[in-house]
Amino acid sequence: MTNSLYIFTLLAIFSAAGKWVSGQGRVADVVTDQFFNGIINQAAPGCPGRTFYSRSAFLQALGSFPRFGTEGSPENAKREIAAFFAHVTHETGHMCSRVEKDGKSRDYCDETNRQWPCVPGKGYYGRGPLQLSWNYNYGPAGRDIGFDGLNNPEIVARDPVVSFKTALWFWMRNCHNAIVSGQGFGATIRAINGQLECNGASPATVTARVNYYKDYCGQFRINPGGNLRC
C-alpha cells in the first residue's frame, strides 16, 4: 500500500468514527424502524398517538437538533438516545397519548411569568412526546422552533414534526449535557420531573423510567452506566 493510499484509508476510518460527533446519521442507524415500532406497537390499537407519532417525523425534527445523539463517546451518544426514548415511552404510554390525559382540567398557566403571559382561553398542559407544559415553556419553545407557542399551543398535538421538535428542544436545554457528560440517567429524571419523583417522592415512577432506559440500552448493546436513579 502506498503512503498516500495508507493516509487516505486512515482518514476514511477517522471520518467514519467521527460521525458520532460531527453528524446525525448514526442516530437514524440506532433509531431503526424496528426500535421505534417496537415502542409504539405496544400502545393500544385505538391510541391517538399510534397514527400521530412516526419515525419519519422524529428524524425530520432531528434535523433541527444536530447535537442530539452525536456528542461524547459513542456509548454515551447511544445512552442519550436510550434515555430520551425511555422518557418518551413513560410520558406518553408507549406513544399512546399526544395530550396529557387529565391536562384539560388545568391550564398550566403561571400568571407570575410576565415574559411569557398566558393567552385567555389557552391551555398549556402536557402535549407531545415529553408532554411540554406551562406557558414559560410553550413561549420560548415556539420562539426557537418557529410557532406561536402562546397563541397556538394546540399545534404541538396536531403537527407531529413540531411535536417532536418541542421534545427535542426541551431535552437539549435540560437533559443533553447531563447525559453526555456521564452524570447518569438519574440526572435526566431530575431535570424532567425531579420535584414530583426524586428524593423518594415517587420511587415507583422512577423505577418505571429506569426500566425503560435499561431495556433500550440492552437493545443498543451498551452498558446503562451508573447513577440511574435520582
Quick one: pLDDT band at residue 14, thresholds 50, 70, 90?
very low
Query: What is the Cα–Cα distance from 9 to 12, expressed in whole angstroms?
Result: 5
102, with CB counted inside 10 A (0-12, 13-18, 19+), is exposed
CATH class held by domain 21-98+159-219:
mainly alpha
Is pLDDT above 70 for 44?
yes
> For all residues of the chain together, what is the average pLDDT?
90
Q: What is the mean pLDDT of residues 50-72?
A: 96
What lies within 8 Å, CB to CB, of 31 at 6+ separation is 55, 58, 59, 81, 85
Query: Which residues are part of the catalytic machinery?
Result: 91
Contact 218, 209 (CB under 8 A): no
Q: What is the mean pLDDT of residues 137-164?
A: 98
Report how far apart, in Å, the C-alpha atoms of 170 and of each of 11, 27, 145, 185 are: 36, 18, 11, 16
Is pLDDT above 60 for 12?
no
Cell numbers 442530539 correspond to what residue? 68
Is pLDDT above 60 for 7?
no
Find, among 108, 159, 165, the residue nearest to 133 by Cα: 108
Read off the pLDDT of residues 163-182 as tens digits, 9 standing for 90 and up. Answer: 999 999 999 999 999 999 99
Residue ranges per domain, the chain? 21-98+159-219
Read off the pLDDT of residues 71-117 as tens digits, 9 standing for 90 and up. Answer: 988 999 999 999 999 999 999 999 999 997 666 668 899 999 999 99
